[in-house]
A and B are shown apart, each in its own frame.
Chain A
Amino acid sequence: MNPSVDPSVIEDLPKAAPVEFAGQWVAWNREQTEIIGHGSTWMDARQMAIEGGSPDPILQKVPRPESVFIGARR
């Protein structure tokens, strides 16, 4: 993978969700270091986190790599 920015900066950021989760919702732990739930809806991802003992995750919709976000829906 070719970072588009300084690798030392990237290393210090919250990790990117792996591509296997593209299009899904993921639940991160509060430190944003670990994915503790995932699913097709944010409710599913949150429920998995709660069942794993983390009641207060941070939920992210993971973008699809082939999609460019420019404010458009379609």
Chain B
Amino acid sequence: MRFRYRSVISMDSVTGAQLLLMRPEIPITVVGSRGCVTYSALVDTGADNVVFPRSIADQLGIDLSPSQRSEAVGFGGGSVALLCGTTTLEIADATSVLRWSSQVLFSDCQPQDDDVILLGYFGFLEFFQANFDGLRGWLELLSNHRLPLDKTISSRN
């Protein structure tokens, strides 16, 4: 499956001038008991887990429980409370769809301005061979035998 990177407006750290960056953000659909919604999510090889904002679980009807890994810590030492839930995830490109169930983490950020969606190792990257083409802005994902497919690998053609 192939996905285009997303362009985002950023700022040059030295001059302060605006510039465009590319990020490997891909659409991912979260399926809960009360519906499904698609989000743009950052594929992050440095993240241990898949992390969504808690509001997604609350709105889509995903049951949460305390996580054994109760907080996320990033660079600089700030921490975010985490909850755990099992949900169905789906990615799709022009030709195929992959859907699987996975245990993921939900962050309880306050303020919610800090919300991020990360596709890290457990629940996502563990299931794929990933090729990041930073020059051309493409992410290629090839699923491996560990992907616990729920439903389909279907061709859209």
Q: List residues of chain A with CB under 8 Å of any chain B CB.
A: 1-6, 9-10, 12-19, 22-23, 28, 32, 41-43, 46, 56-63, 65-66, 68-74
Contacts and interface: CB of A to CB of B under 8 A. Distances in A.
Contact of A59 (B8, B37, B42): B37
State the majority secondary structure of interface residues on A: loop
Q: How large is the interface on B (under 10, 10 to 19, 20 to 34, 35 or more residues)?
A: 35 or more
A71 B47 contact: yes
A25 to B, nearest CB: 8
B70 to A, nearest CB: 15
18 contacts: A2-B19, A10-B20, A12-B137, A13-B6, A14-B4, A17-B8, A42-B39, A43-B59, A57-B38, A59-B37, A61-B117, A71-B44, A71-B74, A72-B74, A72-B78, A73-B80, A73-B114, A74-B76
Contacts of B80: 73
A17 B10 CA distance: 11
B137 A63 contact: no
A2 B137 contact: no
Contacts, number: 118
A42 B11 CA distance: 24
Contact of A60 (B6, B75, B76, B79): B6
B22 A1 contact: no
B157 interface: no
Contacts of A13: 4-7, 22, 137
B9 A58 contact: no
Contacts of A61: 40, 115-117
Contacts of B17: 1-2
A30 to B, nearest CB: 8
